[in-house]
Amino acid sequence: MVRRSMAAGCVLFGAAFLYIGYGKTQSVAGEMSRTFLGGYPSETMAYLIGGGVLLMTGLVMLFGGKKR
C-alpha cells in the first residue's frame, strides 16, 4: 500500500514539474533565452528532467515490477 502511495506521489509531482517546466519554456523569457543563448536556463531544464524522471519512476513503480 505504501508503494502505491509513493508511486502515485511520484507521478503527481512529476507531472506537476513537467507542467511548470513546459510553462517556463513557453514564456517570453524562455523564448528569448532560447533565441539568444541557444538553450533554456538550467532551472527550466531541471524542472523538465526532474519531472520526467519522477514521472517515469512513478509509472514503473505502479505498473512494473513483481506481481504478487
What residues does each domain of the chain span?
Answer: 10-63
Q: How far apart are the first and last CA of the chain?
A: 13
Using pLDDT thresholds of 50, 70 and 90, give the confidence band for residue 55.
very high
- Look at the pTM and tell me if it is higher than 0.85: no
> Residue 54 contacts by C-beta under 8 Å, 6 or more apart in sequence?
10, 11, 13, 14, 17
Name the one residue in this structure whose C-alpha cell is 519531472. 51
d(CA 28, CA 43): 15
Predicted confidence (pLDDT) per residue in 18-54, tens digit: 999 999 998 888 888 888 888 888 899 999 999 999 9
